[in-house]
Amino acid sequence: MADLVEFELMRPPQIVEARRRCPVVYVPFGPIEWHGPHMPMGTDAMAAHRVAVETAKRVGGVVLPAYHLGSETVRAVDGAQSVRALGFEGHERIVGMDFPDFPVKSLYIEEGTFAVIVREIVRLLKQDSWRMVVIVNGHGAPNHQRALRRIATEENEPPRVHVLYESPGGMPAKPAADGQDPGHAGRGETAFMMLETGNVDLAALPPAGTPLRYRDFGIVNGAAFDGRPTPDFTLPAGEDPRLATREEGAARLERSVAGLTERMRQHIAKHLG
């Protein structure tokens, strides 16, 4: 529907015209976070932004710049999302993906502060003439997602303005049937980011065939996050990022965009039609 949908690149008259045609604004979020040695630290927000841009081109609306902001918590000792499920002994204090030996720290914002920033952005957008504000999330931390969902619920003021939460990122358009976590920095996410940036470097990983231990690289399959790691705490062969291709990334992007496009058309028909 539109060639230019990125808010920061548009002149005011272009924004006004785009809003007249479809009064929807997308706001992408994701933290600066370790994604293995082979991927950019800004992966989550960039993925959310790319999906939002491609969706806006199909259904209308404009997309704010990617906000590289997000939250995380200290991992539990046992169970889902725990340190022992990632191959650690259990005494380590680990926040999100900041494992002890990594040379660069993620920039996680305390949950309450993060929520205040997001709410302020949404509040400012609600002062304008947008009829729908869509929070587009690219980060998997449960507390981060809870904060965004809560803000969407609390700031929703139908029929004047609808505030929605969507979490497509670079993940499949539909979650696994068992609700399994999609994992972190593995094959699928790596393939997706090959489309977004030239700064994916598979040579930063060991040669093919070398096992990738969770704790050494911060590359983790979803089952491990769900508390079901492999016996040796290494990434399963089928989820190895060294197998990623741009073609796989293109297919992954299309699934994510198609899913969000379908949901947005339903939202627009229901609330703005």
Q: What is the pLDDT of residues 91-121, one digit of tens each?
A: 999 999 999 999 999 999 999 999 999 999 9
Quick check: is 187 in a domain? no
CA within 13 Å, CB half, 77: 3
Quick check: is 27 in a domain? yes
Domain tally, the chain: 1
Q: What is the pLDDT of residues 169-200, one digit of tens each?
A: 555 434 443 344 679 999 999 999 999 888 99
- Provide the residue range defining the domain that includes 167: 7-179+260-271
Provide Rg for the chain, Cα atoms: 19
Q: What is the pLDDT of residues 240-255, one digit of tens each?
A: 999 999 999 999 999 9
Mean pLDDT of 32-52: 97
Q: Percentage of the chain surpassing pLDDT 90?
A: 92
Is residue 233 within 8 A of residue 86, CB to CB? The reply is yes
Identify the CATH number of the domain in which residue 156 sits. 3.40.50.10310
Range of lowest pLDDT (127-136, 149-158, 171-180): 171-180
Question: What is the rounded distance in angstroms from the CA atom of residue 55 to the CA atom of residue 53?
Answer: 5
Relative to beta strand 24-29, strand 62-63 is parallel
Question: What is the rounded distance in angstroms from the CA atom of residue 125 to the CA atom of residue 207?
Answer: 48
Quick check: is 170 in a domain? yes
Q: What is the pLDDT of residues 68-86, one digit of tens each?
A: 999 999 999 999 999 999 9
pLDDT of residue 197: 81
Quick check: is 52 in a domain? yes
Quick check: is 209 in a domain? no
Quick check: is 141 in a domain? yes
Among the listed residues 32, 30, 28, 29, the one whose alpha carbon sits nearest the alpha carbon of residue 41: 32
Quick check: is 205 in a domain? no
